[in-house]
Structure 1
Amino acid sequence: MNGIRGFWRALPTEGRWLLSTVAIQTLGRGLTLPFTIIYLHEVRGFDLALSGTLMGLIAVVGLVVTGPGGTLIDRYGARRVLIVGLAAMIAGCTLLAFATHPAVAALGLVLIGVNFGVSWPGFNALVASVVTGELRQQYFGVNFALLNLGIGVGGVIGGFYVNVAEPATFTVIFLVDAASCLIPVALLLGPLRHVRTQSEPTTDDATGGSYRQILRRPAVIWVSLLTFVAMFVGYGQMEAGFPAFARQVAEVSTRTVGFAFAVNTLVIVLFQFATLRWIKGHRRTRVMGVMAVVWAASWLLLGATGLLPDTLAAAIGVISFMGVFAFGETLLQPTVPAVYNDLASDHNRGRYNAVNSAAFQGGAIAGPIAAGVLLGNGLGGVFIGLMVVCCLGIGVMALALEKRIPATANGVPEPQPAAD
């Protein structure tokens, strides 16, 4: 397969349906994601500490729901669980649009958290059931690029549209976010209504069915630990550690921070498919090791901006950090979900993806806490040092994972029998 056309032709019809609407679906999320805490604090007048606590409900509820959600996916199928999750998302966004009391906002954010808890394992299980083999890794990468495109464009539109002096503008973006969820609902009730992810377990299935059995596998332990640390040092810092360091230590403008996020999205969208061609046929653990080095370099680059605060060099360094970091993302996102799904079997795929989701969300929760403690106490150098050490630790964990993972789950093709 060569290029996007070859990839698209190789996809089954269900895979095309799933992929063709990703950017549109996530446009609504992009409209609200950067502005929810601004809405709660500046528009609805909630205390900033209360607003931050309310925002934390999404991640906490998502983490709590992930485990039971994975079990339900394996028992009743991803399609049914996703429909319930999307219904919760629609209700949550609608409640937020008109939330003038903290209790109403809390209920809305809890419902959004329910969707977050089941959507990651649900959609990954759905993808894995219709896209197999080498194509699966490519799919996860392209899906990630389109997801970032939708969120990025949504964020730009939202930035131009919303106005804290006009609460109705925030009501509109939350209702648009709710309406965007109707697109995947329509797919699940229409073209994808026959897709089945659940299956009956077999007595000789070596992968095991329960969470206890899954977590006893050394490969699962190592890839989950790697995922947790990657999220701690990566996405856990994107909404906390990075902007706080950029503002307090590098002393750049908010406009520079916003432009850096735009560069992040642009790099992912432009380079993801090229990266997929580069990593094709390579061991996924080796790709993770390269990603660890790239991320370590990006954090060192950001740390250097603290040596020249409030200068053009600092602004360039902050923007460059996000570009280099984004390149690392294009290496990570195709590989980790593919590893989990290649380790899984059809009857426990939901639980494997739930383990992945839990590790992801755990790191995303712990990251901002660590950043707040270190940067809040003026320990910017220690913060950067911790990020670099964690990145190098990811490389070590990738090597440990390589010794424990089946070759096929590591992206190594099965050897073909010799011709007679």
Structure 2
Amino acid sequence: MSVPSPLTFVKSLIPDAGAPRMYVTSSFVSTVGGGIMMPISVLYFTRIVGLSSARVGLAFTVSSLVAILMSAPAGALADRVGPRRVVMGSLTVLGASGLAYLLVHNFWTLLAVNAAMNISFAAYFPSVGALLRRVGGEQTVTIRSQSRAVANIGVALGSLVSGVGIQIGSAAAYHVLIVLFAGAQSAAVLLLLRVPDYRPLPRPAKNPLPADGAGPVPVTGAGEAPVPKGLALRDGAFLAYALVGGVMAVQALILEIMIPVWIVDRTDAPSWAVTLAFVINTALVVLLQVRLGGSVQTLADGGVALRRAGIAVMLGCAALSVMAGVPAWAALLVLVAGMVLLTLGEIWYASGTFAFEYGLPPAYAQGQYQGVSGTVTGAARAGAPVLLLGVVLGFGSLGWLGLGAIMVLLGLTGPALARFGARTRPADTADGTGLPASATAPAANSPVGDPA
């Protein structure tokens, strides 16, 4: 594998001019705001507002569970009215709810404000996925990889800014950070005005899915009937993928909530090793997401990527399991190896999910499908802290090995899921790309008006 020059690498992260570049730029600006908010979201309420950690945790948990229910309806709304409108509305509410943090003074106001923020997040992700499908066309998976790499840069930059405010520690510093978060979301909305306001796509007059799952059924006509609300729920291949992909999404939380506790409480590694783990992860995602993800285009590619992800995460968990009981220098070496493997698994997992989530849904129902997937993933992530901190870490090294075994078993189903999905797609998407001609045809993608 040849090593690209720095200029070539930077260019690989930048999509073509026009709507794709504006989409990725908007995502970047929004994630800078996210990087500012994530480190202070709990600290602000405990240090500045004066709420207890238990009350803050309860408010965050309840609001997250409420928000899970909004993902599928928001995705369906994006299919009906056009995805850009729902994305812009979600970002607007997100910024406003961030500003409303300044008004929180007790548990109940925190619960209300954080519920609004989580609901806006739940509406944003399926609608922005539907918008990407329209912006990207046949390059959807590539642009999604570019967006993810750039988003990691955005989060890192935002976290640096947040760190300055945390170091200052005053109420005024936290207030400035909150205003910067809201400003970033407003800027992201303005950038989306340069993206076409795509019309909803024409829908087929007949059910596009096979009745018996035995093979693809041709779509013989198109009309303007509403997309069936339960279309994604009747797609057996997509539901099977959503369950596997949703549970595998827990691997992303290994770094966020499990590794810091493992390093500090169970190993002799220095505490700064937690920062080292995050640096390795961010750097590798930025460097490799586009390069590795760019080769994952079809459903078959996605199935292989999920299998590789499961194997890599298993090996990473096995490496981290031996950190306990070894000297600090050995624990650091094992941590580096484990983080490389876990991050490779994360990249392959993300690339595989891109292929499935844009290869299985019909273009006119992309939001609905993303909403169903988001609901399953959200539920899995909601239960992850109990599993990772209470069960896996409770068993120590054996817990790591058990978690790795679960991930590899799920990943190994990837190729079979891909074959199931390809076998049950309509005839006009049976090539394995999942992108019908209607997804990229000029008439179908014509915007309501010229982009601002």
Any residues of structure 2 matched to 1:269-280 within 5 Å, and which?
A: 269-279=286-296
2:329 pairs, out of 303, 312, 315, with 312
Deviation at 1:57, TM superposition (A): 4.1
Q: Which residue of 1 aligns with 2:170?
A: 166
Which whole-Å deviations, capped at 9, do the CAs of 1:314-369 have from their partners, x for residues lacking one?
23333443332222222222331332222222331110111121122122112111
Residue 364 of structure 2 aligns to a residue whose secondary structure is: coil
What letter matches 2:188 in structure 1? Answer: P
**Separation in 2, partners of 1:31, 1:115:** 17
- Percent of aligned positions with the same letter in both sequences? 18
Q: Which residue pairs with 1:323 in the alignment? A: 340
2:98 and 2:229 map into 1 onto residues whose CA distance is 32
Deviations 1:272-292 (A, max 9, x none): 222135546762101211111
Structure 1: unaligned runs, 5 residues or longer: 415-420
Q: How far is 1:37 from its partner?
A: 1.5
SS, match of residue 116 in structure 1: helix
Matches within 5 A, 1:6-25: 11=16, 13-25=18-30
- Displacement of 1:386 in angstroms is 2.7
Match of 1:284 among 296, 302, 305: 302
Deviations along 1:44-94, one digit per CA (max 9) or x if unpaired, are: 221111121222245323312102111211221212222221122112111
Q: Give the counterpart of 1:69 among 61, 70, 74.
A: 74
Range 27-36 or range 163-172, more displaced: 163-172
| 2:249 aligns with one of 231, 241, 244 | 231
Alpha-carbon offset, residue 303 of structure 1: 0.8
> TM-score, normalising length from structure 2?
0.82
Is this contact kept in 2: 1:374–1:382, CA < 8 A? no
Q: Offset of 1:186 from its aligned partner?
A: 0.9
Could you say what secondary structure the match of 1:347 adopts?
A: helix
Matching residue of 1:362 = 379
**Counterpart secondary structure, 1:149:** helix
Aligned length: 407
Aligned partners of 2:392, 2:171: CA distance in 1, in Å? 33
Residues 320, 56 of structure 1: alpha-carbon distance in 2 compared, 3 angstrom cutoff: farther
Tell me how far 1:306 sits from its aligned partner.
Answer: 1.5
2:258 matches 1:218: no
**In structure 2, distance between residues paired with 1:6 and 1:248:** 42
Secondary structure, in 3 states, of the residue corresponding to 1:192? coil
Question: Aligned runs of 1:121-140 on 2, under 5 Å?
Answer: 121-133=126-138, 135-140=139-144
8 Å contact 1:293–1:392 — kept in the other structure? yes
Q: Is the 8 A contact 2:84 2:197 kept in 1?
A: no
Aligned to 2:46: 41
2:360 is matched with which residue: 343, 354, 358?
343
The counterpart of 2:416, out of the listed 378, 400, 418, is 400
The aligned counterpart of 1:379 is: 395
Structure-2 change in CA distance of 1:82 and 1:10 (3 Å)? closer
Task: Note the C-alpha offset of 1:269.
Answer: 0.6
Which residue is equivalent to 2:213?
A: none
Further displaced range: 267-276 or 139-148: 267-276
Tell me how large the CA RMSD over aligned residues is: 2.7
8 Å Cα contact 2:79-2:368 kept in structure 1: yes
SS of residue matched to 2:125:
helix
Local SS of the residue matching 1:131: helix
Change (3 A) 1:386 1:9: closer
Normalised by the length of structure 1, the TM-score is 0.88
Q: From 145, 148, 168, give the equivalent of 2:149.
A: 145
Q: Which amino acid aligns with 1:174?
A: I
Match of 2:274 in 1: 257
In structure 2, C-alpha distance between the alignment counterparts of 1:114 and 1:352, rounded to whole Å: 18
Quote the offset at 1:247 in angstroms. 1.9
